[in-house]
Amino acid sequence: MQPLNVALVGYGYAGKTFHAPLIAAVPELRLAAVVSSRPDAVQADWPQLPVLASLEQALTDPAIDMVVIASPNQQHYPQARAALLAGKHVVVDKPFTVASEQARELCLLAERPGSPLLSVFHNRRWDSDFLALQALLASGELGALSHFESHFDRYRPEVRARWREQDEPGAGLWYDLGPHLLDQALLLLGWPQTIYANLSRQRAGAQATDYFHVQLGYGKYQAILHGSCLVSGGAPRFSLHGASASYVKFGLDTQEELLKAGGRPGSSGWGHDSEPGIVYRPPPAVGERRPAPDGDYLEYYRAVAGAARGQRANPVTAREAWRVISLLELAERSAADGRRLFCHPLA
């Protein structure tokens, strides 16, 4: 089959670092154009690639099969809606939208008979450490969980002049990293009963959330989701404790750093994590090192290409992404009210 022609919308960090190289590395897809107001930046990396001035040009081009939206968060909803109504398959970078009502509308639109594919780029389902964690929990080796903790910490003490750090809907660390941690928690643990959130601005001059500590209640145990811009190091990425054993994992998946450095997706060593997790059993046993499988963000786009042709399942559905957005919003309400809230299932 001929590859599906893809128009990438936006060439900021997400478009340049993740989407363009991943799309180009999947044989079933063809990066056919980029919609950007920065043509020089695009053509410095992709000299032969057409740069379009507007989304409308991509939507009216019958040769374009799929639109990948990597624009600022507030543009996700209107651009995804326009692309779906134009009959294009759509991939939206996380967060899916900045409001749950927007996510619900896109979800219902995508579920109409004959609608094109709508998928959301929750790429960290294919992190090395998360794949290892999925397998470990599925094995039952830890026993009944008593505690789950997921950290995504950084050291960025200076507030930068960019839209992600402005006081506007969809900005801040909770909407940047929170979608990853929520999506992973929902996959591993299911829908929580309660949520209790602390969202703060800790850095001097911060205009948006740069710290979050969110508790998801699952009856007998809590799942802690934590992120900060003021952590120099020392915090584990994952820590889980169960009736039979504990698991601790330090370090992040390597794929993002490789992409930032210009690494080629799918090359030798791609997605390899040299820092294994450790399983601890009750004394006197010592910790057992557990290497993780290689991470593979390419699998997301392979699945998207197959799903667009009706050959594979959608790797991240709009309904799954809607659930994440609803919890992002509920956490904001919890933080504003200073109280624990119930997580009612979505209709």
Q: Dump pLDDT digits (tens) for 286-335.
A: 899 999 999 999 999 999 999 999 999 999 999 999 999 999 999 999 99
115 and 35 fall within a common domain: yes
94 and 209 fall within a common domain: no
Asked if residue 320 belongs to a domain, the reply is no
pTM summary value:
0.95
Asked if residue 259 belongs to a domain, the reply is yes
CATH number at residue 204: 3.30.360.10
175 and 148 fall within a common domain: yes
Q: Number of structural domains, the chain?
A: 2
Question: Cα separation of 177 and 190, whole Å?
Answer: 19
Find the domain containing 287 and state its range.
125-296+328-341
pLDDT by residue, tens only, the chain of 347 residues: 899 999 999 999 999 999 999 999 999 999 999 999 999 999 999 999 999 999 999 999 999 999 999 999 999 999 999 999 999 999 999 999 999 999 999 999 999 999 999 999 999 999 999 999 999 999 999 999 999 999 999 999 999 888 888 888 888 999 999 999 999 999 999 999 999 999 999 999 999 999 999 999 999 999 999 999 999 999 999 999 999 999 999 999 999 999 999 998 988 889 999 999 999 998 877 899 999 999 999 999 999 999 999 999 999 999 999 999 999 999 999 999 999 999 999 87
Q: Which positions ≥6 away from 90 have C-beta within 8 Å?
A: 66, 67, 68, 69, 80, 83, 84, 110, 116, 117, 118, 119
94 and 186 fall within a common domain: no
Q: What percent of the chain has pLDDT over 70?
A: 100
88: left (phi over 0), alpha (psi -120 to 50) or beta: beta
